């Protein structure tokens, strides 16, 4: 693994204006303004070690690189006439993850760690079993408390593609062909 998380983050930061906003070219020619904010704090080595010890789990290297640079972020929240109306990807801090894990009923039967929230009611999850078995494709989407679907990606590739696609659900693109695209609209 090359571990390019820092390059992806720094590349995105270089495109932001002084308010943290960016113009996004979206599907079908739409242009929107998005807001990007990174936590100014880093997860300390002590915080990371405590988290891993409490959960008896070693976080993947690429995700560790992210939280040791920024302990949380909000990427591509939508700005409508200058007002933040939400949306986008919310990457949790270690403290946010602890809060999410308190909702045991939501994650019942899933051996995963929620690291983010996106697309209204979708959690981005690190599958602990896959990480423990050395499987590099450990990222899942947990939708509306019902479906636990593999993304066949790790964190750094997900983040890179999410940013390159301007926050679009790129993981669904393989299902859109010319034949079915217009039927799903």
Domain boundaries, the chain: 5-184
30 pLDDT band, cuts 50/70/90, is confident
Q: Sign of the C-alpha dihedral, residues 80, 24, 156, 152? A: positive
Q: Could you tell me if 13 and 38 are in contact, meaning their C-beta atoms sit under 8 angstroms apart?
A: yes
| Tokens matching residue 69 | 């640079």
Q: Is the pLDDT of residue 1 over 70?
A: no
What's the average model confidence in pLDDT over 111-138? 91
Q: Is the pLDDT of residue 185 over 70?
A: no
Can you give the pLDDT at residue 168? 85
Please provide the average confidence, as pLDDT, over all residues in the chain.
89
Can you give the pLDDT at residue 145? 58
Can you give the pLDDT at residue 172? 78
Can you give the pLDDT at residue 116? 96
Q: Is the pLDDT of residue 9 over 60?
A: yes
Overall CATH class of domain 5-184: alpha beta
């Amino acid at each position: 693994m090359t571990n390019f998380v820092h390059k992806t983050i720094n590349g995105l930061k270089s495109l932001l204006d002084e308010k943290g906003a960016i113009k996004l070219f979206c599907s079908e020619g739409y242009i929107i303004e998005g807001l990007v904010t990174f936590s100014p704090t880093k997860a300390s080595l002590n915080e990371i070690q405590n988290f891993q010890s409490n959960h008896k789990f070693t976080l993947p290297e690429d995700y560790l690189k992210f939280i040791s640079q920024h302990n949380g972020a909000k990427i591509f929240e939508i700005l409508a006439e200058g007002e933040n109306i939400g949306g986008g990807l919310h990457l949790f801090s270690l403290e946010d993850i602890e809060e999410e894990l308190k909702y045991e009923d939501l994650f019942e039967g899933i051996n995963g760690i929620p690291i983010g929230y996106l697309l209204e009611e979708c959690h981005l999850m690190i599958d602990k079993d896959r990480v423990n078995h050395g499987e590099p494709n450990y990222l899942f989407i947990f939708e509306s408390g019902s479906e636990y679907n593999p993304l066949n990606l790790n964190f750094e590739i997900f983040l890179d593609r999410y940013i390159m696609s301007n926050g679009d659900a790129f993981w669904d693109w393989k299902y859109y062909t010319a034949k079915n695209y217009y039927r799903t609209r």
